[in-house]
C-alpha cells in the first residue's frame, strides 16, 4: 500500500558508523520504561531489530550516557513497567518530569505535551571536531503504541556550507534544556544549533520549528496562508471552538478524527462540523501502549485497525502547500495552554520536485485510509466511563500533589510530602505506593508520609503508584528524589547485581574486542541464567579477557583501556553459587593482571583493585 515513507524512531537516533552520541534531550507526553531502554540502546548503536538488546549493551549505554541524555516527560505519565527488571532503577538518572497539574480547572490545567528529540553526535576519533545534529519532531509518545503518527526528521552535516538554517531551533533547544535541568550545559550547543545547516529535500522549506510554552504572548493556532483553496485537518482530539476557526479557512475542508470525537462535536448546538467532509480512523489514547492490530486477521486489516495519533494541518494554495505537524491537537488547550512542539513546512510543487510530490501523494494516501462519515450516522456522544474518568482525574491530582522526597530509615524507605497529603479529592479512591518492582501498600488517607519496606533491589527515585476504584485501577511510575541524593555507588551496586561477575567479564571482552556482541549476558530483560548449569561444567568460561586482547586493544585504540578502568572501578559483582564463584575468581585474576599491565602501558594508570 502506498503511504508516507516511514523511518523507525530508533533508526533515526542510532549514530552512524564512526560517530557516537555526545548529548541528547528527548521529550514526550508519556513513556514506557522498556521503550526508554530501547532508545538508550539505540543512542549507543546497540539496539536489535526488535528494539531490544543485550545486558552488556545496556550497561554500556547507561554508563556512557549518564549525565548526557535526558527524557523530559509529563509527571504521572511514565507507565508502570510490564516487567520489573532491577536495572530499570537506573532510569532515574535519565528521566526528568514536568510537575504540571493536568486536571486543574480552566486555564490552570496544562500538560507537558511536546514530542521531539535533539541528538548531538561527534566523531569517535575527533570528539572536539565539528558535530552533527539530528532533530525529530512529531506526534508519537515513547510507547509501544503503533497508531498512525507523522513526524519531521532532519540531519545536519558537520562542516557543511549548504543546506537550510532552521529558524527557531536554538530557542527550542534552550527551552527544552531548561526543563531538563541542563540549561547551562546546553547554552553553547543552542548557539551551535543556530548556525547548523540541515539537509532538507528540494521543494520543501522548513519555515520554523517552535516549542510553545504556557504564558507565551500571542500564541495561537496558525492562520491560513493567502489564497488557501483546500485544508485537510487531522487530530485524534478536537474541540468545537478550534474546529469552527478552521471552518473559516476555505470552502473545501476535510476533518479526519475518530468517531467518538466527531460525535462529541456533532452533538454541540453550535454545529462546528458544518461544511466539513468528515473522515474517521480508530481513536488512540494519548498514553496508549497496546498494539491495536494484534487482533487483525490480515495485513490490510492491520493497517485499517491502527489507531489515529497523527496531528497535522495541510493547506493548498495553487502550486504550493503548507504543512503544520507536531504534537498539538485541534483544541484550545493545545494551542494556548500546553507545552507543544510543531514545525511549519512550505511545499512547492512547481517543477515537480520528488520530495514535494511524494509528500502530497502520502497525505492523499493516508486520507484514503480513512472512511467517510455522515453526521447523521454519528449517533449521540457516548461520553466517558465515569469510573475511568474518576481514576484519570485521581492520577492527575496525585501526581501533581506528590512533590516530596524519600529518605532511608533502617530497613525501610520513608516517603514524605511536606506540602500535604497526595490523595485525590474523591474519598472512594484507594492510593497505593511501592518501591519499583515491589509489592504495593496502602497510603493511609490524610497521611503526609508512608513507610515503604525494602523487599528487593537497590534504592531508586522511581516509585510505583496505583489508584483503584470498583475493581478498576491505573498504575504508573513517578520520580520522588532521595534526601540526601543517591550516590554513584548505588549505580555501581545495581550494575553489579544485574551483570554478575560473568557479565562484567563479557563487558570487558566486548570493549577490548571492539565487537558488538549481540547477546552479551543475554537479553536485557531476561531472567538471570541458572547458576548451576553453565552448559560446559562449573568453572569453564568462554571468552575470558586475555593479555593478548589487552595488547591488541592498546595497539589499536589506547583509549579503550580507560573504559576497562572505569568498568573495574564502577561495578561490584554479586551473586552466589559455584558458577558465580568461578566467574568472580576469573574477574579477580584479571583485575590483578590488569594492574600490572596498566603500570607498564602508556596512558592513564588504573586505580582498580
**pTM of this structure:** 0.91
In CATH, the number for domain 9-212 is 3.30.870
Which residues, other chains included, contact 224 with Cβ-Cβ below 8 Å and sequence gap of 6+?
Answer: 231, 249, 250, 315
- Residue 347's pLDDT band (boundaries 50, 70, 90)? very high
Q: How far apart are CA 535 and CA 533, in angstroms?
A: 6
Could you report the per-residue pLDDT of 368-420, keeping only the tens digit for each? 999 999 999 898 876 667 999 999 999 999 999 999 999 988 788 999 999 99
Q: Which residues make beta-bridge pairs with 348? A: 320
Question: 131 or 520: whose pLDDT is higher?
Answer: 131
Q: How far apart are CA 69 and CA 298, in angstroms?
A: 39
pLDDT of residue 228: 97
Give the whole-number percent of the chain exceeding pLDDT 70: 88
Residue 536 has pLDDT above 70, yes or no: no
Residue 548 has pLDDT above 90, yes or no: no
Question: 544 or 298: whose pLDDT is higher?
Answer: 544
pLDDT of residue 104: 93
497 — phi, psi (to 5°)? Answer: -70, -35
- Residue 591's pLDDT band (boundaries 50, 70, 90)? confident
- Residue 431 contacts residue 423 (beta carbons within 8 Å): yes
Give residue 357's Cα distance to chain centre: 31
DSSP element (H, E) containing 205: strand 204-212
3-state secondary structure of 497: helix
Q: How far apart are CA 194 and CA 168, in angstroms?
A: 8
User: Which residue's C-alpha cell is 538518572?
Assistant: 93
Residue 440 has pLDDT above 90, yes or no: yes
Q: How far apart are CA 562 and CA 203, in angstroms?
A: 48
Give residue 77's Cα distance to chain centre: 11
Q: Which residues make beta-bridge pairs with 472? A: 469
Q: With CA atoms as reference, report the closest residue to 13 among 149, 120, 115.
A: 120
Q: How far apart are CA 417 and CA 404, in angstroms?
A: 4
Question: 136 or 1: whose pLDDT is higher?
Answer: 136
- C-beta neighbour count of 501 within 10 angstroms: 25
**Rounded mean pLDDT, 433-448:** 94
Residue 530 has pLDDT above 80, yes or no: no
**Rounded mean pLDDT, 577-597:** 81
- Give the least confident one: 40-54, 119-133, 506-520, 556-570: 506-520
Q: Which residues make beta-bridge pairs with 118? A: 25, 135
Q: How far apart are CA 219 and CA 222, in angstroms?
A: 9
Does CATH place domain 386-479 in 2.60.40? yes
Residue 285 has pLDDT above 70, yes or no: no
Q: How far apart are CA 392 and CA 103, in angstroms?
A: 9
pLDDT of residue 287: 65
Looking at every residue in the chain, the average pLDDT score rounds to 88
pLDDT of residue 346: 97
State how beta strands 441-442 and 430-435 pair.
Answer: antiparallel
pLDDT of residue 517: 53
pLDDT of residue 4: 52
Question: 183 or 510: whose pLDDT is higher?
Answer: 183
- Residue 327 contacts residue 234 (beta carbons within 8 Å): no
- C-beta neighbour count of 392 within 10 angstroms: 19
Domains 9-212 and 230-377 share a fold: yes
Residue 223 has pLDDT above 70, yes or no: yes
Residue 538 has pLDDT above 80, yes or no: no
Domain range summary for the chain, segments of one domain joined by +: 9-212, 230-377, 386-479, 488-600
Rg (CA), the chain: 26
Longest dimension (CA), the chain: 84
Residue 178 has pLDDT above 90, yes or no: yes
pLDDT of residue 290: 43
pLDDT of residue 578: 59
- Residue 457's pLDDT band (boundaries 50, 70, 90)? confident
What CATH number matches the domain at 230-377, 3.40.50.2300, 3.30.870.10, 3.40.50.620, 3.40.190.10?
3.30.870.10
- C-beta neighbour count of 221 within 10 angstroms: 18
Residue 531 has pLDDT above 60, yes or no: no
Q: With CA atoms as reference, report the closest residue to 77 among 392, 474, 476, 426.
A: 476
Amino acid at each position: 500500500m502506498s503511504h508516507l515513507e516511514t523511518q523507525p524512531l530508533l533508526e533515526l537516533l542510532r549514530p552512524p558508523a564512526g560517530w557516537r552520541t555526545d548529548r541528547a534531550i528527548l521529550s514526550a507526553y508519556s513513556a514506557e520504561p522498556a521503550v526508554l531502554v530501547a532508545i538508550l540502546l539505540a543512542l549507543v548503536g546497540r539496539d536489535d531489530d526488535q528494539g531490544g538488546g543485550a545486558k552488556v549493551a545496556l550497561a554500556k549505554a547507561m554508563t556512557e550516557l549518564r549525565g548526557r541524555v535526558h527524557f523530559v516527560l509529563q509527571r504521572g505519565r511514565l507507565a508502570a513497567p510490564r516487567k520489573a527488571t532491577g536495572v530499570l532503577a537506573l532510569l532515574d538518572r535519565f528521566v526528568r518530569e514536568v510537575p504540571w497539574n493536568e486536571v486543574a480547572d480552566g486555564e490552570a490545567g496544562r500538560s507537558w505535551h511536546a514530542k521531539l528529540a535533539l541528538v548531538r553526535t561527534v566523531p569517535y576519533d575527533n570528539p572536539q571536531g565539528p558535530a552533527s545534529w539530528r532533530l525529530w519532531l512529531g506526534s508519537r509518545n515513547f510507547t509501544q503504541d503503533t497508531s498512525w503518527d507523522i513526524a519531521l526528521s532532519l540531519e545536519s552535516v558537520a562542516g557543511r556550507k549548504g543546506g537550510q538554517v532552521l529558524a527557531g531551533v536554538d530557542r527550542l533547544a534552550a527551552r527544552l534544556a531548561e526543563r531538563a535541568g541542563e540549561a547551562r550545559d546546553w547554552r553553547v550547543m543552542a548557539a551551535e544549533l543556530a548556525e547548523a545547516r540541515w539537509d532538507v529535500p528540494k521543494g520543501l522549506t522548513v519555515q520554523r520549528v517552535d516549542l510553545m510554552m504556557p504564558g507565551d504572548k500571542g500564541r495561537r493556532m496558525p492562520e491560513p496562508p493567502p489564497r488557501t483553496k483546500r485544508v485537510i485537518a487531522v487530530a485524534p482530539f478536537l474541540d468545537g471552538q478550534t474546529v469552527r476557526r478552521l471552518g473559516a479557512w476555505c470552502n473545501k475542508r476535510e476533518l479526519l478524527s475518530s468517531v467518538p470525537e466527531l460525535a462529541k462535536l456533532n452533538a454541540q448546538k453550535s454545529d462546528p462540523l458544518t461544511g466539513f467532509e468528515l473522515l474517521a480512523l480508530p481513536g488512540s489514547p494519548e498514553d496508549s501502549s497496546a498494539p491495536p492490530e494484534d487482533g487483525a486477521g490480515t495485513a490490510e486489516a492491520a493497517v485499517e485497525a491502527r489507531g489515529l495519533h497523527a496531528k497535522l494541518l495541510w493547506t493548498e494554495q495553487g502550486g504550493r502547500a503548507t504543512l503544520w505537524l507536531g504534537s498539538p491537537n485541534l483544541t484550545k488547550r493545545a494551542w494556548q495552554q500546553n507545552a507543544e512542539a510543531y514545525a511549519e513546512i512550505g511545499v512547492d510543487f512547481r517543477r515537480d520536485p520528488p520530495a514535494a510530490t511524494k509528500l502530497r501523494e502520502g497525505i492523499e494516501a493516508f486520507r484514503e485510509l480513512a472512511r467517510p462519515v455522515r453526521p447523521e450516522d454519528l449517533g449521540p456522544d457516548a461520553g466517558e466511563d465515569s469510573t475511568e474518568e474518576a481514576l484519570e482525574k485521581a492520577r492527575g491530582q496525585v501526581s501533581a500533589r506528590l512533590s516530596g522526597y524519600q529518605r532511608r530509615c533502617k530497613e525501610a524507605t520513608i516517603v514524605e510530602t511536606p506540602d500535604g497529603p497526595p490523595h485525590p479529592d474523591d474519598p472512594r479512591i484507594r492510593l497505593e505506593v511501592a518501591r519499583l518492582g515491589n509489592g504495593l501498600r496502602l497510603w493511609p488517607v490524610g497521611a503526609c508520609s508512608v513507610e515503604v519496606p525494602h523487599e528487593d533491589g537497590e534504592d531508586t527515585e522511581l516509585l510505583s503508584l496505583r489508584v483503584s476504584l470498583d475493581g478498576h485501577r491505573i498504575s504508573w511510575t513517578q520520580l520522588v528524589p532521595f534526601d540526601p541524593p543517591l550516590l554513584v555507588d548505588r549505580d555501581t551496586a545495581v550494575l553489579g547485581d544485574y551483570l554478575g561477575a560473568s557479565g562484567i567479564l563479557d563487558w570487558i571482552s566486548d570493549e577490548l574486542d571492539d565487537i558488538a556482541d549481540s547477546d552479551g549476558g543475554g537479553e536485557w530483560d531476561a531472567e538471570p541464567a541458572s547458576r548451576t548449569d553453565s552448559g560446559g561444567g562449573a568453572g569453564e568460561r568462554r571468552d575470558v579477557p586475555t593479555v593478548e586482547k589487552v595488547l591488541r586493544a592498546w595497539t589499536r585504540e589506547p583509549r579503550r583501556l580507560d573504559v576497562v578502568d572505569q568498568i573495574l572501578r564502577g561495578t561490584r559483582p554479586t551473586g552466589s553459587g559455584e558458577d558465580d564463584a568461578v566467574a568472580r575468581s576469573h574477574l579477580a585474576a584479571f583485575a590483578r593482571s590488569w594492574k600490572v599491565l596498566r603500570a607498564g602501558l602508556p596512558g592513564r594508570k588504573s586505580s582498580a583493585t
